[in-house]
Structure 1
Amino acid sequence: MTRTLFKKSNNLTRKNLLKTTLWLFIFITLLVVVVIYLLYFLKIYNKMHTIVKPSKVVIGFAMGTLKEERWFKDRDILIAKAHEKGYEVEWVNANENDVEQINQVKFLLSKNINILIIVPNNYEKCSSAVNLAKKRGIKVISYDRLVRNSDIDVYVSFNNYKVGELMAKWLIKKVPRGNYAFLLGDPGDYNVQMIKEGYHKVLDPFIKKKQINIALEKYCYNWRKEYAYNYITNLLDQNKRIDAILASNDSLAEGAIMALSEKRLAGIVPVTGQDADISACQRIIKGTQLMTVYKPIDKLVDLTFEIVDRLINNKSLNPPLMLNNGYKNVPTFFLTLSV
């Protein structure tokens, strides 16, 4: 009787144990299923609500012109260095058309660019293009030419005041007295105003003492050498004496030297320039051009990408100076120059 009761009790214990084990297994299984479901749901939720950053930074490069030799260098070097850093570049050229530049910036914005680097064709009219980018939250770098009256984030360039100073110093050493002709670039390029201010800083004391006479001081629209050629030709046809020519770039220098050549004055009247175009260097060797201001484009591009990296990563710029563009004080980076 005792053995029978013990067996029954033992059987009941085993059944209870099996039931408990079964329920425990079911509970654990359900718990695992719930955890897996929650993890999967949270993963999907996070994907839906997380802003996915682009795998590559896309830079928009809006150029005002490709007329001069130097702008081809800027474009090619900038694209090559961007690719080295893993950036993509969408570039456009406005061909000296202000309306087209605005439309091209709209096109770049449609490409979901992260940064806009702009070379304004006109320093005032380009402010509309900058405004379009800023409304989209895109940061803007004004490259080598300043955009006036606009909310640009950075201005990076060579020191164009120094460009004017260097040209004037070379001329004054060569021709301390006489009639000077000044061939300025396009009035819509703010660099021209800086160059003008730079050479006047050096030459005004001589002008006030009447050691130097201004025979000509005119703008060459769109930096076209035809204007330089015509200005110098007209002076010479009027039998006006020209002792020195300050041409604001190598293209204008070429136009002036063409006019001098027709009067057999090439190499006699010193002419300045800037950009170190190959043709200008050849003229210097030949003796028909006095000097050219060399601009290391690769260094300018390197500096630009240092700024791009900081803007992308929201790091402070620590600019060496601030320049007022009529709208605000703009963080400004100038590179040094040489002849």
Structure 2
Amino acid sequence: MRQLIIRAMATGTVATLALGACSSGSSDGSAKGRTPYIGVILPDTTSSARWETQDHPALEAAFKAKGVKYDIQNAQGDKAQFQAIADHMLKEGVNVLMIVDLDAASGIAVLTKAKQEGVATIDYDRLTLGGHADYYVSFDNVDVGELQGQGLVQCLQGQTKPIVAEVNGSPTDNNATLFAQGYDSVLGQLYNNGTFVKGPNQSTDNWDNATAGKNFTKMLAQTPNIGGVLVANDGMAQAVIAVLKQHHLNGKVPVTGQDATVPGLQSVLDGDQCMTVFKDSVKEAQAGADLAVNLAKGQTASAANAMVADTVTGKLVQSVELTPEAIVKSNVQDVIAAGAVTKAEVCTAQFAAACAANGIK
């Protein structure tokens, strides 16, 4: 079933919050009588470059602009480290904890302990199923998958019954499940009517790029006439493209991605990757920071635009959901204009001509 989303009748701006009597510019009325102090735990630096190159600086800038104390750390994919960071933050006195879980079990353990200590909790980007977070800030992740599926369909126009391989995200990440729901809703119709042929399909433990590359090598050996590859994010797409290059198939076999990372955008520009999905980390970070700061100041705060169902508990979680954007060659400029990456990072000497040809300023 598709993730249940109930949108508020009056959506307003993305970060609109219903506030109590305390002014958002005041440090009075802080939660439990403490000065606002917000802890953020990011997951890793290997599954996607975005966590440190986009989300970390965007969150830091948002907290600095609000003049609140904060601590942002990265668990580097280590569940024991994830727990240790949380324990340290709780000991240090954070009154709001915002996390991107590594899996449901590690997320639940941290969220449960925070709640036991009276600390408000926010799931950032990934909903921890069964975790009972107070709030959730993310993008509509089924929509992300739909954009990937629609993008691959566009890239495969003109091919007759192409075989489509799917390189999915981690089976322990709820987002990966939602992305797959989205792109399978698009591709499934084409499999059923014979327009596309469903090829090999495999999940990738921990979003590990090297594992994705090994899995795709096996897929290509077993099915050498793969026509297109639905890859769930840019990091794994780079691994798939590397395999295609070994067989001189890069640029000939369309590959999707997600996260609009610098390597992903460069691959889009040179034609090795047909599209990516941009989830504006500045907007996501701002929405998360706005919510966290209001909670840390002891204000009543509720996300304005959606209620998302935790499919394990059945609970509806108050949420801020943002809108993703499909990125192809012609609109790579959108990602640069948003400040997620710079022209200097994307338009290195190798890609300068492609940048100029696609109007990148």
2: distance between equivalents of 1:57 and 1:239? Answer: 56
Normalized against structure 1, the TM-score is what? 0.81
Aligned counterpart in structure 2 of residue 123 of structure 1, from 100, 104, 122: 104
Instruction: Please tell me whether residue 308 in structure 1 is matched to residue 292 in structure 2.
Output: yes
1:226-278 C-alpha deviation (Å, 9 max, x unpaired): 12222222233335311010111101110110000111000000000011111
Indicate the residue corresponding to 1:257 in structure 2: 241
Indicate the residue corresponding to 1:320 in structure 2: 305
2: distance between equivalents of 1:124 and 1:146? Answer: 12
Indicate the residue corresponding to 2:179 in structure 1: 195
Indicate the residue corresponding to 1:178 in structure 2: 162
Contact kept? 2:43, 2:51, Cα under 8 Å: no
**Which deviates the most, 91-100 or 136-145?**
91-100
Contact kept? 2:156, 2:162, Cα under 8 Å: yes
Aligned counterpart in structure 1 of residue 282 of structure 2, from 252, 273, 298: 298
**Which deviates the most, 114-123 or 218-227?**
218-227
1: distance between equivalents of 2:217 and 2:244? Answer: 8
Instruction: Please tell me whether residue 57 in structure 1 is matched to residue 57 in structure 2.
Output: no
Cα distance, 1:273–1:239 mapped onto 2, change above 3 Å: closer
Indicate the residue corresponding to 2:12 in structure 1: none
Contact kept? 1:274, 1:294, Cα under 8 Å: yes
User: Aligned letter for 2:321?
Assistant: F
**Which deviates the most, 321-330 or 154-163?**
321-330
Cα distance, 1:239–1:208 mapped onto 2, change above 3 Å: closer
1:12-63 C-alpha deviation (Å, 9 max, x unpaired): xxxxxxxxxxxxxxxxxxxxxxxxxxxxxxxxxxxxxxx9944x41111112
1:1-339 mapped onto 2 (5 Å cutoff): 53-54=33-34, 56-67=35-46, 68-72=48-52, 73-175=54-156, 177-238=161-222, 240-311=224-295, 312-325=297-310, 326-327=312-313, 328-339=315-326
User: Aligned letter for 2:36?
Assistant: V
User: Aligned letter for 1:127?
Assistant: I
Contact kept? 2:135, 2:303, Cα under 8 Å: no
Q: Give the secondary structure class of the aligned counterpart of 2:77.
A: coil
**Which deviates the most, 113-122 or 95-104?**
95-104
1: distance between equivalents of 2:220 and 2:166? Answer: 14
User: Aligned letter for 1:314?
Assistant: Q
1: distance between equivalents of 2:277 and 2:303? Answer: 28
Deviation at 1:330, TM superposition (A): 0.6
Question: What percent identity do the matched residue pairs reach?
Answer: 28
Contact kept? 1:123, 1:145, Cα under 8 Å: no
**Higher Rg:** 1
2: distance between equivalents of 1:76 and 1:66? Answer: 14
2: distance between equivalents of 1:101 and 1:227? Answer: 22
Contact kept? 1:232, 1:260, Cα under 8 Å: no
Q: Give the secondary structure class of the aligned counterpart of 1:243.
A: strand
User: Aligned letter for 1:71?
Assistant: W
Hey, which bits of structure 1, 4+ residues long, moved more than 6 A? none
Contact kept? 1:323, 1:329, Cα under 8 Å: yes
May I ask how many residue pairs the two structures share in their alignment? Answer: 288
Structural RMSD (CA): 1.7
**Which deviates the most, 81-90 or 140-149?**
81-90
1: distance between equivalents of 2:217 and 2:192? Answer: 27
1: distance between equivalents of 2:187 and 2:165? Answer: 12
**Which deviates the most, 227-236 or 183-192?**
227-236
Q: Give the secondary structure class of the aligned counterpart of 2:38.
A: strand
2: distance between equivalents of 1:182 and 1:52? Answer: 48
Q: Give the secondary structure class of the aligned counterpart of 2:104.
A: coil
User: Aligned letter for 2:49?
Assistant: E
Q: Whose relative contact order is higher, 1 or 2, with alpha carbons under 8 Å and at least 6 apart?
A: 2
User: Aligned letter for 1:123?
Assistant: A
User: Aligned letter for 2:292?
Assistant: V
Cα distance, 1:244–1:135 mapped onto 2, change above 3 Å: same
Contact kept? 1:165, 1:202, Cα under 8 Å: yes
Contact kept? 2:303, 2:320, Cα under 8 Å: no
Contact kept? 1:98, 1:126, Cα under 8 Å: no
Deviation at 1:218, TM superposition (A): 0.8
Structure 2 stretches lacking a partner, 5+ long: 1-30, 327-361
1: distance between equivalents of 2:32 and 2:198? Answer: 61
1:170-217 C-alpha deviation (Å, 9 max, x unpaired): 111222531111111111211100000001111111111232222111
1: distance between equivalents of 2:302 and 2:219? Answer: 49
Normalized against structure 2, the TM-score is what? 0.76
Deviation at 1:78, TM superposition (A): 0.8
Structure 1 stretches lacking a partner, 5+ long: 1-50
Contact kept? 1:124, 1:188, Cα under 8 Å: no
1:116-167 C-alpha deviation (Å, 9 max, x unpaired): 0101011243101100000011000000011110221101001111111001
Deviation at 1:318, TM superposition (A): 4.7
